[in-house]
Amino acid sequence: MTTESRQLPMTVPMPGLPDRVTIYEVGPRDGLQNEPTAVPVEVKAEFVRRLLDAGLDTVELTSFVPQRWVPQLGDAEELLDLLGPLGTGRQRPVLVPNERGLDRALDKGVNAVAVFASATETFARKNLNRSVGESLEMFAPVVRRALDGGAWVRAYVSMCFGDPWEGPVPVGQVVDVCSHLMDLGCDQLSIGDTIGVGTPGHVVRLVTALDDAGIGPDQVAVHFHDTYGQALANTLTALQHGVRVVDAATGGLGGCPYARSATGNLATEDLVWALDGMGVETGVDLDALVSTSTWMAEQLGRPAPSRVVRALAGG
């Protein structure tokens, strides 16, 4: 059996998909924030460099969150220092939870930021320690000052499908939060199925409802977790309905420190396999990405969840 050759995706175009998709890589932030131990900052910098070398053009680097909240990302300044010119620009966003985080980010020359909102009251309370309304008030000056400073602004909206405490989340409730955030001036929304429960029909309904509310799919990114194996199917459905930006984490790392049932993100490699296989351009070199995940898995001391990584790295 040693003569089996290493597989690569075959290209057969799929009707209804775009020619090109932008992968918004969240591994260094969303992936590493959930690791049980902090990764050394030099390893993080090398991770980012390898991701960029693999052809990813948008990489979210870290979060300027207080160290006591997420100690895993307590080295945001040091990371940007190590990255130098690689760590700035509109395709190197960082998460900023509040004005203090924005100040820290702006001090480091960042000019793309993301805020992290919740579609549900319970998760807003647990994650942000305030109501949805209060959190939107908190974000208003963050977004305004970021825009005034010339930065690009994304808003994550978490728990857009189901909430671990509240259950199914009404689409209208999600649209309301999204509309508020767009009214603040955000450039892009990332609608998240933080606990991975959604299925394709729900994706169509939400993307359509946002469009009906004036938030077109060109302003929307999708962010799926693979907790129940639905992430890729949901993502491809969103792409068939006009979405062009997809969040993914190399290796399938990730989760959420505030919700136990939120496990790994859509693996960038599994997404790239699908898109390569359908002739959708991403600019990403799959082999380089798999090598990066294999290396990162060694740093973390456990195998990457990505199916593609497991299949190719074992071959």
Region binding a copy of itself by CB under 8 A among candidate stretches 14-22, 25-33, 37-45, 69-77:
14-22
Residues recorded for the chain = 315
Q: Does residue number 4 form part of the binding site for a copy of itself (CB under 8 A)? A: yes
- Scanning residues 270 to 299, which ones bind a copy of itself (CB under 8 A)? 270, 273-274, 276-279
Could you tell me how many residues of this chain bind a copy of itself (CB under 8 A)?
55
Q: Which residues contact 80 (CB under 8 A, 6 or more apart)?
A: 61, 62, 87, 88, 94, 108, 109, 110
CB of 242 to a copy of itself, least distance (A): 15
Q: How far is CA 190 from CA 56, 84, 108, 142, 159, in A?
A: 18, 27, 24, 17, 11
Other Cβ atoms within 10 Å of 282 Cβ, number: 21
For residues 38 and 255, give the distance between their C-alpha atoms in angstroms, rounded to a whole number: 15
Closer of 2 and 37 to a copy of itself (Cβ):
2
Sign of the alpha-carbon torsion through 277, 233, 228, 27: positive
Q: Does residue number 18 form part of the binding site for a copy of itself (CB under 8 A)? A: no
Closer of 25 and 276 to a copy of itself (Cβ):
276
Q: How far is CA 119 from CA 4, 107, 150, 246, in A?
A: 48, 30, 27, 19
Region binding a copy of itself by CB under 8 A among candidate stretches 31-39, 69-77, 140-148, 158-166:
158-166
For residues 277 and 28, give the distance between their C-alpha atoms in angstroms, rounded to a whole number: 26
Q: Is 256 a catalytic residue?
A: yes
Q: 268, 23 in Cβ contact below 8 A?
A: yes
Q: Does residue number 9 form part of the binding site for a copy of itself (CB under 8 A)? A: yes
Closer of 102 and 259 to a copy of itself (Cβ):
259
CB of 63 to a copy of itself, least distance (A): 20
- Scanning residues 68 to 97, which ones bind a copy of itself (CB under 8 A)? none
Region binding a copy of itself by CB under 8 A among candidate stretches 97-105, 112-120, 160-168, 289-297:
160-168
- Scanning residues 178 to 217, which ones bind a copy of itself (CB under 8 A)? 195-202, 204-205
CB of 185 to a copy of itself, least distance (A): 30
Closer of 144 and 260 to a copy of itself (Cβ):
260
Give DSSP secondary structure letters for 57-82. Answer: -EE---B---TTT-GGGTTHHHHHHH
Q: Which residues contact 253 (CB under 8 A, 6 or more apart)?
A: 27, 30, 31, 32, 34, 35, 264, 265, 296, 300, 304, 305
- Contact residues toward a copy of itself (CB under 8 A) are 1, 3-5, 7, 9-15, 17, 161-162, 164-165, 167-168, 195-202, 204-205, 226-230, 232-233, 236-237, 259-261, 263, 267, 270, 273-274, 276-279, 306-308, 311, 315
Residues tagged active-site: 256
